Amino acid sequence: MGDFYQLPPVVVEQDSRGIYAFQAILWAASIHLTFVLKEYLLSLLLIAIFVDFIQILNKLHVGQVTKKTEDIMKSLKHPLALPDQRIILSFFESI
């Protein structure tokens, strides 16, 4: 169980047809039954409040960024408020 839009495929060089795990050739050979959730099992109240944001996230998952989506995401940008001036650390994967 998971969001396979967030997982890159495990591939060998000759199997590079997609950027998502479910697009790999090995996926079709090993996964025989999949489900696509069409309904979110969150509280109906939360869905009603965040329905536009959920639709935006669904479009971003598949790389569909409209001007409206871009404008909405840019409008959410704001400086990070640090009430006690903590130091923020960034961790990066080493190669």
Note down the domain range covering 44. 37-75
Identify the CA nearest to 20 among candidates 32, 2, 40, 33. Answer: 2
The answer to whether 4 and 16 are in contact (CB under 8 A) is no
85 within domain boundaries = no
The answer to whether 59 and 66 are in contact (CB under 8 A) is yes
The answer to whether 34 and 22 are in contact (CB under 8 A) is yes
pLDDT computed for residue 16 by the predictor:
58
**Number of structural domains in the chain:** 2
90 within domain boundaries = no
Per-residue confidence of the chain (95 residues) as pLDDT tens digits?
456 666 665 666 665 566 777 777 777 788 787 777 666 555 566 666 677 888 888 888 888 888 988 888 888 887 877 666 666 666 666 65
pTM value is 0.36
Note whether 24 and 53 are same-domain residues.
Answer: no
Handedness of CA 23, 29, 31, 34 (dihedral sign): positive
